[in-house]
C-alpha cells in the first residue's frame, strides 16, 4: 500500500493516527536536529517532521538527502503542530516520520513548482509535466473536467447519446485548411482529419440517432492567430426533427446549467440580436454586451456641412466614451495613433468632447457648431463628461475599426468584468459571405447550412442577401458556439454546392455520400458546436485557452515538449510512397 491518506486530507481529528503518505517533496528545511519537509500530491500539502530525538539516525540521514521533487513514501504518526498554519487545510497537524522510502530521486526542476513560478512560458511548456504539478495548471485541468462532466450529465439527461465519429476521414469544409494523413495501404491517397464531425453527425441523424453529442477533437490547419490551437475540442451536437427555436432552447439550457453549477450564477432568458443589428450597433458579430458604448450612426447629422471626409464616406459612426471628456490632448492623440495602427487600419479619428458643463469642443469645430455636436451626442447616447469618437469610410471596414476601438477602450476602462457573464444569441446570419480577394461567395457557416425558408430563389439574384437559420452563442464578446439548421434534401444541397463554385463532379466526389444519404429518408435536422476550450477559459475567468489544455501547442503549432512535428525517416516515407521536395 502506497498511502493510507492523501496529502490534503489529515486534520487535527486525525491526531495520533498512524498513516502512510506518498508524494513529491515540495521543500525541505534542515535545522540539523530537526528537519521539516513539505510533502505534496494532487490533493494538497502535508508537513513532515523528522526529529533527532524521536526519529532514527538512519531516517534522519535519509531525510537530509531529500531534494526537491523527490518521490517518497513515509510512515508516521499524526501529531499536533506547534506553530499552526491557518492558511493550509492540513495546517494544524504534521507527521512525525518513523519510516521513509525514497521511491524515486529527481533532478532539480528547471523552474520552481510554486503557484508563482520563476519559469517563463517556454520552459514551462517544454516541461509541461512539471508545470501540471503547479496549482494554477492543475486546478485548471480539474476545472475543465468539472465543466466536461456537467456537459455530459446535462445532455445525457436530455436523452442525447454520445457517439464517437472517425478521425481518419475526408475533407469537412469549415473554412480552414485540412491536416492530411497519407494512407500506406492506399497508395497516393490521403485522409483528412476532421475540421469538425459535421457530415458524420448529419449522417447519424439520417441513421435515426435523433439527439447526438460528442466531446471531440477537431483539427484545423490555420495560421495561429492569438489563442487558437490546431487541435481543439468541441462539444458537438445534432438533433433531428427540430427547428432553430428547439436548438436554442436546449443549448441555452445547457449554458444556463453550466453557469449555475460551475459559477453559481443564475441567468434568465438570453437576449437575442440579429446579425444585422449586431453589426450595426457593435460593428461585430460577437458583441460584448457587458457594457454599452453602442454605435451611433451620424450620416444624417454629419453630412450636411463642408467636411469632405465625412461627406465622401459611406458611413460616419461614433461611440461615446464614458468620462472621456477629461482626456488630455496627449491621451486623445495616443488614441488616434491607436486606431491608425495597421492592425486597426483607420485613416484618422474625429472627436468631440462633451464637457461636464454641457459645452462641446471638437477636432472639427471649423465645420460643426454646438448644435450639430449636440445631435452627435444624441445619436451616440453621450452624456456630459463623455468623449465622442467618430470614424468614417466604407461601412464594413469602419464598423470593424470602431468595434476594435470600443473593445480597447472598454478594456482600459475596466468595463470587461470577468466575473460578469453576458450571454447573447446572434441569429439570422447571412448564408454566404463575399471573399473580397477572389470575388467569390463562400459559406459563412458551412456548405450544409440551409437558407431560410423561401430564400433559395434569392441565391441567383442577390446571394449576399440570403439569410440562414444560423446562430452563434456569444459570451462576453467571445463566440463560444455556433450552428445551423441543415439542408436535408439532395437538390438543395446540390444547388448550394453549385453556388459555392463546386462543379457537379467535385460535389459528387467530395460529398456524394451525404447527398446519397439524403435520398434515403433524411429527417429535418440541425445542431451546433461549442468550443470547449474557450468556454472553459471564460468560465474560469481567464484569457488563454492554452492554460486549460494539458498539452497545448505553441504559436507555430509545435509541441515543444515532445518536439513535434518532426521529420520521418526515409523508410517511412518510402512505405508511404512519399518524396519530399524541400529546399534546404
Interface positions with ligand ASP (CB under 6 A): 174, 196, 198, 446, 482-484, 527-529
HEC letters along 550-584: CCCCCCCCCECCCCECCCCCHHHHHHCCCCCCCCC
DSSP H helices in 500-544: 504-517, 532-539
CA distances from 256 to 29, 364, 382, 470, 540 (A): 48, 47, 33, 21, 15
| Number of neighbours of residue 46 by Cβ within 10 angstroms | 30
Question: What are the strands, taking DSSP E only, across 355-507?
Answer: 360-362, 387-393, 423-427, 432-434, 441-443, 470-475, 478-485
Least CB distance from residue 317 to ligand ASP, whole Å?
30
Least CB distance from residue 213 to ligand ASP, whole Å?
11
CA distances from 295 to 57, 206, 350 (A): 76, 44, 15
Q: Phi-psi region for residue 393, left (φ > 0), alpha (ψ -120 to 50) or beta?
A: left
d(CA 529, CA 446): 12
C-alpha cell of residue 316: 460616419
Residue (318 or 527) nearer to ligand ASP, CB: 527
d(CA 474, CA 487): 24
Least CB distance from residue 436 to ligand ASP, whole Å?
22
Residue (235 or 278) nearer to ligand ASP, CB: 235
Residue (47 or 165) nearer to ligand ASP, CB: 165
End-to-end CA distance of the chain: 56
Name, in order, each residue with C-beta under 8 angstroms of 367's C-beta and a sequence gap of 6 or more: 305, 306, 307
Residue (109 or 483) nearer to ligand ASP, CB: 483
Residue (230 or 527) nearer to ligand ASP, CB: 527
Residue (23 or 482) nearer to ligand ASP, CB: 482
Residue (527 or 552) nearer to ligand ASP, CB: 527
Least CB distance from residue 468 to ligand ASP, whole Å?
11
Least CB distance from residue 246 to ligand ASP, whole Å?
14
Residue (4 or 148) nearer to ligand ASP, CB: 148
Nearest to 125 by CA among 534, 551, 548: 551
Residue (377 or 536) nearer to ligand ASP, CB: 536
Least CB distance from residue 247 to ligand ASP, whole Å?
9
Least CB distance from residue 90 to ligand ASP, whole Å?
45
Least CB distance from residue 158 to ligand ASP, whole Å?
17
Least CB distance from residue 482 to ligand ASP, whole Å?
5
Least CB distance from residue 174 to ligand ASP, whole Å?
5
d(CA 584, CA 577): 21
Residue (26 or 484) nearer to ligand ASP, CB: 484
Asked if residue 43 has a cis previous peptide bond (ω within 30° of 0), the answer is no
Least CB distance from residue 195 to ligand ASP, whole Å?
7
- Which of helix, strand or coil describes residue 449? strand
Closest CB to ligand ASP: residue number:
196
Least CB distance from residue 470 to ligand ASP, whole Å?
8
Residue (281 or 486) nearer to ligand ASP, CB: 486
Name, in order, each residue with C-beta under 8 angstroms of 241's C-beta and a sequence gap of 6 or more: 210, 523, 524, 525
Do the beta carbons of residue 178 and residue 198 sit within 8 Å? Answer: no
Give the Cα-Cα-Cα angle 352, 397, 449 (nearest 5 degrees): 135
Least CB distance from residue 279 to ligand ASP, whole Å?
20
Least CB distance from residue 548 to ligand ASP, whole Å?
19
Least CB distance from residue 484 to ligand ASP, whole Å?
5
Pairing of strands 272-274, 478-485: unpaired
- Which of helix, strand or coil describes residue 12? helix
Do the beta carbons of residue 70 and residue 37 sit within 8 Å? Answer: no
d(CA 296, CA 376): 8
Residue (362 or 484) nearer to ligand ASP, CB: 484
Residue (175 or 565) nearer to ligand ASP, CB: 175
C-alpha cell of residue 50: 523528522
412 φ, ψ to 5°? -65, -35
Q: Cell 494554477 sits at which residue?
A: 136
Looking at residue 325, the DSSP 8-state letter turns out to be: G
DSSP H helices in 12-160: 57-64, 121-126, 128-131, 135-157
| Number of neighbours of residue 413 by Cβ within 10 angstroms | 14
Residue (124 or 446) nearer to ligand ASP, CB: 446
Do the beta carbons of residue 195 and residue 219 sit within 8 Å? Answer: yes
d(CA 199, CA 175): 14
d(CA 160, CA 180): 31
Residue (174 or 178) nearer to ligand ASP, CB: 174
Amino acid at each position: 500500500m502506497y498511502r493510507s491518506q492523501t496529502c490534503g486530507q489529515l486534520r487535527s481529528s486525525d491526531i495520533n493516527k498512524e498513516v502512510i503518505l506518498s508524494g513529491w517533496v515540495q521543500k525541505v528545511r534542515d535545522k540539523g536536529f530537526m528537519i521539516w519537509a513539505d510533502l505534496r500530491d494532487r490533493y494538497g500539502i502535508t508537513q513532515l517532521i523528522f526529529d533527532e530525538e524521536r526519529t532514527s539516525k538512519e531516517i534522519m540521514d535519509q531525510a537530509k538527502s531529500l531534494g526537491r521533487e523527490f518521490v517518497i513514501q513515509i510512515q508516521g504518526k499524526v501529531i499536533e503542530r506547534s506553530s499552526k498554519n491557518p492558511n493550509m487545510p492540513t495546517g494544524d497537524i504534521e507527521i512525525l516520520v518513523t519510516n521513509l522510502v525514497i521511491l524515486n530521486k529527481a533532478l532539480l526542476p528547471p523552474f520552481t513548482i510554486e503557484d508563482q513560478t520563476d519559469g517563463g512560458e517556454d520552459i514551462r511548456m517544454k516541461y509541461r509535466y512539471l508545470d501540471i504539478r503547479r496549482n494554477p495548471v492543475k486546478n485548471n485541468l480539474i476545472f475543465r473536467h468539472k465543466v466536461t462532466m456537467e456537459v455530459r450529465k446535462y445532455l445525457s439527461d436530455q436523452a442525447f447519446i454520445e457517439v464517437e465519429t472517425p478521425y481518419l476521414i475526408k475533407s469537412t469544409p469549415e473554412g480552414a485548411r485540412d491536416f492530411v494523413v497519407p494512407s500506406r495501404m492506399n497508395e497516393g491517397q490521403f485522409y483528412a482529419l476532421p475540421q469538425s464531425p459535421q457530415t458524420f453527425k448529419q449522417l447519424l441523424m439520417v441513421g435515426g440517432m435523433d439527439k447526438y453529442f460528442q466531446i471531440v477533437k477537431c483539427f484545423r490547419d490555420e495560421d495561429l492567430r492569438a489563442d487558437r490551437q490546431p487541435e481543439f475540442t468541441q462539444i458537438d451536437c445534432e438533433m433531428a426533427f427540430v427547428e432553430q427555436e428547439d436548438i436554442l432552447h436546449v443549448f441555452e439550457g445547457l449554458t444556463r446549467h453550466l453557469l449555475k453549477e460551475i459559477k453559481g450564477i443564475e441567468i434568465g432568458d438570453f437576449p437575442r440580436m440579429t446579425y444585422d443589428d449586431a453589426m450595426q450597433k457593435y460593428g461585430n458579430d460577437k458583441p460584448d454586451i457587458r457594457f454599452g458604448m453602442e454605435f451611433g450612426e451620424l450620416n444624417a447629422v454629419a453630412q450636411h456641412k463642408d467636411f469632405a471626409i465625412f461627406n465622401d464616406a459611406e458611413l460616419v459612426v461614433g461611440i461615446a466614451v464614458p468620462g472621456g471628456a477629461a482626456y488630455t490632448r496627449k491621451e486623445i492623440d495616443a488614441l488616434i495613433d491607436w486606431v491608425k495602427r495597421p492592425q486597426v487600419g483607420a485613416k484618422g479619428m474625429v472627436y468631440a468632447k462633451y464637457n461636464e458643463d454641457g459645452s462641446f469642443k471638437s477636432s472639427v469645430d471649423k465645420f460643426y457648431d454646438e448644435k450639430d455636436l449636440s445631435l452627435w451626442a444624441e445619436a451616440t447616447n453621450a452624456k456630459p463628461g463623455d468623449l465622442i469618437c467618430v470614424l468614417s469610410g466604407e461601412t464594413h471596414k469602419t464598423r470593424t475599426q470602431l468595434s476594435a476601438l470600443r473593445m480597447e477602450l472598454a478594456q482600459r476602462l475596466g468595463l470587461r468584468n470577468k466575473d460578469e457573464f453576458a450571454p447573447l444569441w446572434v441569429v439570422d446570419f447571412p448564408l454566404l459571405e463575399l471573399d473580397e480577394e477572389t470575388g467569390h461567395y463562400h459559406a459563412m457557416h458551412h456548405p450544409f447550412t440551409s437558407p431560410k425558408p423561401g430564400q433559395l430563389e434569392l441565391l441567383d439574384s442577390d446571394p449576399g442577401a440570403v439569410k440562414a437559420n444560423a446562430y452563434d452563442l456569444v459570451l462576453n464578446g467571445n463566440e463560444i458556439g455556433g450552428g445551423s439548421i441543415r439542408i436535408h434534401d439532395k437538390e438543395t444541397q446540390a444547388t448550394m454546392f453549385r453556388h459555392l463554385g463546386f462543379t457537379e463532379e467535385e460535389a459528387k466526389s467530395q460529398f456524394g455520400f451525404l447527398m446519397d444519404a439524403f435520398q434515403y429518408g433524411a429527417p429535418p435536422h440541425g445542431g451546433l458546436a461549442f468550443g470547449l476550450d474557450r468556454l472553459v477559459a471564460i468560465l474560469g475567468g481567464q484569457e488563454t485557452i492554452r492554460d486549460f489544455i494539458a498539452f497545448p501547442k505553441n504559436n507555430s503549432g509545435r509541441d515543444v515538449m515532445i518536439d513535434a512535428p518532426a521529420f520521418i525517416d526515409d523508410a517511412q516515407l518510402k512505405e508511404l510512397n512519399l518524396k519530399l521536395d524541400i529546399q534546404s
